[in-house]
Amino acid sequence: MQEKDSVTAMTTPNRRAMIALLILSGTIISICMGLRQSLGLFMRPMTLDAGISAASFGFAIALQNIVWGVSQPFVGALADRYGPRPILIWTALAYAAGMLLMVYSRGELGLDTAGFLLGIGTAGTAFGVLMGVVARATPPEKRSQTVGLVAASGSLGTMLLAPLGQALINGHGWQTAMLVFAAIAASMMLFALPIKSLAIKLDAQVTVAAKPQPLGEALREAIGHRGYLFMTLAFFACGFQLVFLTTHLPAYLQLCGIAPGVGATALGLIGLFNTIGTYGFGLLGARYSQKHLLALIYLLRTLFIIAFLLAPISATTTLIFAAAMGTLWLGVSPLVTGIISRVFGLEHFGTLYGVVFLSHQVGSFFGAWMGGLVFGWNGNYDYAWGALIAIGLAAFTLQWLMDERPPAEHRRAGGAQPVPA
């Protein structure tokens, strides 16, 4: 009865507060992800103008991703304890500082420091903190759709910022483009200011009182849960595949004789179709098995990569590939959020999501760095594409076999693996 009453209260007087929270959260995520996923556009002009090797640039992007992953559990825990607004403000500042440093650094140390700051900034302004805010403010039966809507709106940033970045690079140089990106990153602080009052108002309506669980106990419970480990390992492939594409696809296309503008258009298409796909998977996650939907995303991504490589590389096939991958790009977000909140609850959501996301970012690190290394060794990306395919198939298998029962039920069954539905 208590949960039913809280849901009823959620649907009446504070709908405007919920809409405002969704718009602000979606805008911050949109800026964060749009900037991050457009960084690959800077690799070639920076290597030509600043004397930076492809491997060095790839390592800086890889460092950003591993720092994002390592810091995500801690940033999430701080947001769980102190609220989202101070975390969002400080990490937005770090994001802008990292982009400024990329403009003025001329050595590997400065570039790597910029990557470190960008990683901290992304940990606070991307999905981990804001998905927790939205999930806590949403009734369970609406959670998957609502999280999917916010994640989908976050895709608009890539659709807008990738073409903007390419136009600025072409017209004014990469330094001016990066300065504009730094100013856009700083604007996230302004959008974060109203979030605290909105989150408090909505949390009070939806959250059902429960006996507090110590953080250490929650972590031990999750790490001892085989399904949580399977999902965490499978998430490695997500980061590995996607960050390889955002970092190295523009350069790969130029090797194939495709005009530079096609790479920017492809990134924009990924953002556009991601908006549709992410919201669609949020709707599907409210009706069908979330673990099986996750597994299918990994499988379909891998099959599309195979099809792209088998077809003749052209502007047309590239844009079709971008649209297909965009449909599957961030559909994982509402599904992973739904599984964690349903299996483990929301009290320590930021921390538990952060641990899963650490695996994603380890994959991102190796996806970005491996691409640069493979290209440096062989002058092509053949072995890198092969790695994407093998890891994607392994992720599909792990995710399909995930045990998604809550810990108490899992313990009563002795940790036995259920027969897949």
Q: What is the pLDDT of residue 91?
A: 94
- The predicted-structure confidence for 214-270, as pLDDT tens digits, reads as follows 777 878 888 888 889 999 999 999 989 988 887 788 878 888 888 777 877 887 788
In this prediction, the residues of the chain whose per-residue pLDDT falls under 70 are 1-13, 50, 154-155, 196-211, 408-421
- The predicted-structure confidence for 276-313, as pLDDT tens digits, reads as follows 888 889 889 888 899 999 999 999 999 999 999 998 88
Q: What is the pLDDT of residue 125?
A: 92
Measuring CA to CA, how many Å separate 309 from each of 66, 85, 177, 323?
28, 44, 31, 15
Domain ranges (residues) in the chain: 2-207+217-408
What's this model's pTM, rounded to 2 decimal places?
0.74
Q: What is the pLDDT of residue 304?
A: 95
- Output the CA torsion sign for 300, 301, 302, 307: positive
Q: What is the pLDDT of residue 408?
A: 67
The two structure tokens encoding residue 102: 């990329």
The residue type of 142 is K
| Superfamily, domain 2-207+217-408 | MFS general substrate transporter like domains (1.20.1250.20)
